[in-house]
Amino acid sequence: MFANPHGLHLGMGTYSTEEAFLTLASMHTGVLSLAETNINWDHPSAKPKLHNITRKVWKHSSVAFSHTSEKFKDLNQPGGTLMMACGDWTSRVIEKGVDPYGLGGWSHLVLRGKNNIKILIVSVY
């Protein structure tokens, strides 16, 4: 599933990230690709907040984040991406990666399929 949420909401809200994830789980989403998360993934509370939300919906997940290397003190930061394998798909993840240039433009997952076929999924913003 791909979406541009124009910013994730990691707190309480009218339509929270948890509610969105519950909807995706009901649709049996295996891989989630988000562009423009608007989250500073280096902020101390960002990853724990996402982890707490994700664990309420899926027992297992594997996540790759990207954001600009420009320093922000706040939780919100323009741009960024998120790639996440959810539930049973988590065991298929063999590689995770992000934009090596620090621009926050993309993140990716590599999954192992049948007969050792590798599947590359990229989220680009």
Predicted pLDDT at 15: 66
The pLDDT of residue 97 is above 90 = yes
CA 42 to chain centre: 14
Strand-pair partners of 66: 81
User: pTM higher than 0.75 for the full model?
Assistant: yes
> Could you tell me the two tokens for 97?
């990666």
Q: Mind listing the domains of the chain with CATH numbers? A: 2-124 (3.60.10.10)
pLDDT in tens, 15-48: 689 899 999 999 999 999 999 999 999 999 999 9
Compute CA 32 distance to the chain's CA centroid, rounded to the nearest angstrom.
7
The percent of residues above 90 in pLDDT, for the chain, comes to 73
Q: β-strand 61-66 against 81-86: which pairing, if any?
A: antiparallel
Tell me the HSE value of 76 on the side-chain side, using a 13 A CA sphere: 5
| pLDDT at residue 12 is higher than 80 | no
**How many angstroms separate the CA atoms of 11 and 125, rounded?**
23
Per-residue model confidence (pLDDT) at position 65: 92
Three-state secondary-structure class, residue 14: coil
